Structure formats: structure tokens, C-alpha cells
Amino acid sequence: MTDLFKDKRVAIFGVANERSIAWGIADAMYKQGARLAFSYAGEVLEKRVRPLAESVNADLVISCDVTDDTQIEEAFRQIASKWGALDVLVHAIAFANREDLEGRFVDTSRKGFAVALDISAYSLVALARAAAPLMTNGGSIITLSYYGAEKVVPSYNVMGVAKAALEASVRYLAADLGPQNIRVNAISAGPIKTLAASGIKGFKGMLHVVEERAPLRRNVTQEDVGASALFLCSELGSAITGETLYVDAGYNILGM
């Protein structure tokens, strides 16, 4: 199949560079015929995102800081002006202060906790609220989580709590938006070398552990996650909502 997403309008929030999981999803959808819009926050990210967007003939490249509701409203105004409607929203945004990813979780600052939860979890709620009115024929919303939402992962700290909130938000949003035929799901991907992952202490060790112990004896790739996103966001996944799909070579099923 080469037209699974033919003429589908997809807005992608969270591409940082060509190694981003979000870019793997964007590329997979583009190859299946999707029309794409990308967001960026700040000039540094714009310099990385714009060339990638141009390489897949993106219709829109939009400035949007997800902590600012006015900017979110403006981003979706531009999407509505260009396309009139929206089929898929990809949320791939997460952030925690570096000092809150080191040491003990119990030492997380109040401000650091609020920042991590706002950017990593509430932003999904804010973007979904803005996207839903444009999904006039139903649609699909997808976000990215990680196993640290469910179990303690060293140095993941407040981000694990934020991802737990994100996964709970997926379920509540799925219940709210289901009557509009809007599906909301998460992919919990195994560790992948991304810009965000570089901020996690001991990340290379995590890759080694997964490759050594996961049932499939390998790490996952952008392409693995992109293929799973195709499934969840297309008609192939039309009866799936409120779920967290693990794409981690089976690592999550292990005990000891």
C-alpha cells in the first residue's frame, strides 16, 4: 500500500531534528500520501524543522509554543485557513529541566514539576481541544509515551510522572472525543537515540539493556514507531482508542 493516508491532513507537533521519533512518523505518513503541517518553537528549532518540512513538501510550517494558549489558537487558525479540516494530530512534545532528571525524584522542585507536567502532558489536552473542532469527519490523535510512566526507570524521574499523566489524559480524552469519532492513543516506544533522550543520564546503558534482554533482542527504530503510528491513525485501527501501544521489542512484558 502506498496511499493509506492519501490526502489526509496531518499536523505534527514536536519534531526536533531528523532523529526525532516524530520525524519517523511524519516520513511514514508522507510516504503513504499525507499532507503535512509542522510546528516549531523558537528560531533554533525552526532552522532544524523547516528544511525537513520542505523535504516532504509540507503545506505549513507554524511557530507554536504549547505553553501559550494564544499561540495554539493561532496555529490552528492557520491550519483551518489552509486546509479547512484536520484528520490527524501527532503530539510528540516533552520537556523537563535537566536538574530534575538527575539525582532523586524526591528532590524535584515545585517549579520543575509544574514545567514538566505542563509541557509534557497538559499540552496534549490543549492541542486536542484546539484540533477537535477541525476534525469534522472524525480523526485520530496520537502521542508518545515511555515505559517510565508505568515502572521506575533510573534518571527518568519527573518525566515518568509526566508520562503517567499523559497516558491518563489519553484515556480521558478518548472518552470525551469518542462521540465525535475522534480516536486518541499513545505509543510507548522503547529507547531511541533522539535529542530528548540525550538528556537522560545513562541512556546508552538503557539501549544496551533493552538489546540484551528484550524478547526480540534488539532496540526499536524510528521506522518501527512510524509503522505503528500508520496503523493506529489509519482505518486499520478504526476501533482502537484510549490505548497505549508498546513498541519496544517486547521489553515491557518482562519481570526480572
Nearest to 23 by CA among 40, 3, 8: 40
Domain architecture of the chain: domains with CATH: 9-250 (3.40.50.720)
Q: Which of 30, 40, 147, 156 does the annotation list as catalytic?
A: 156
pLDDT classification of 195: cutoffs 50, 70, 90 = low
What tens digit of pLDDT does each residue of 141-154 get?
999 999 999 999 88
pLDDT classification of 92: cutoffs 50, 70, 90 = very high
| Cα 74 from Cα 41, distance rounded (Å) | 13
With a cut of 90, say whether residue 199 has pLDDT above it. no
pLDDT classification of 207: cutoffs 50, 70, 90 = confident
pLDDT classification of 173: cutoffs 50, 70, 90 = very high
In this prediction, residue 56 carries a pLDDT of 96
With a cut of 80, say whether residue 109 has pLDDT above it. yes
Task: State mean pLDDT over 98-115.
Answer: 94
Task: State mean pLDDT over 190-195.
Answer: 72
Sign of the alpha-carbon torsion through 97, 165, 143, 46: negative
Task: State mean pLDDT over 161-180.
Answer: 98
Q: Which of 146, 147, 246, 251 does the annotation list as catalytic?
A: 146
199-223 burial, b if ≥16 CB within 10 A, otherwise e?
A: bbeebeebbeebbeebeeeebbbbe
Indicate the length of the chain as a whole number. 256
What tens digit of pLDDT does each residue of 20-30 get?
999 999 999 99
Q: Is 251 annotated in the active site?
A: no
Nearest to 86 by CA among 175, 29, 7, 31: 7
What tens digit of pLDDT does each residue of 23-70 get?
999 999 999 999 999 999 989 999 999 999 999 999 999 999 999 999
In this prediction, residue 3 carries a pLDDT of 86
* Contact status, residue 166 vs residue 186, Cβ threshold 8 Å: yes
pLDDT above 90 coverage of the chain, percent: 85
Q: Is 122 annotated in the active site?
A: no
With a cut of 80, say whether residue 194 has pLDDT above it. no
What tens digit of pLDDT does each residue of 73-83 get?
999 999 999 99
pLDDT above 70 coverage of the chain, percent: 95
| pTM, rounded to two decimals | 0.93
Mean pLDDT across the chain, nearest whole number? 93
In this prediction, residue 200 carries a pLDDT of 60
pLDDT classification of 198: cutoffs 50, 70, 90 = low
In this prediction, residue 60 carries a pLDDT of 97
| Cα 36 from Cα 52, distance rounded (Å) | 11
217 to 1, 78, 208, 226: CA distances (angstroms): 29, 44, 10, 20
In this prediction, residue 196 carries a pLDDT of 60
With a cut of 60, say whether residue 240 has pLDDT above it. yes
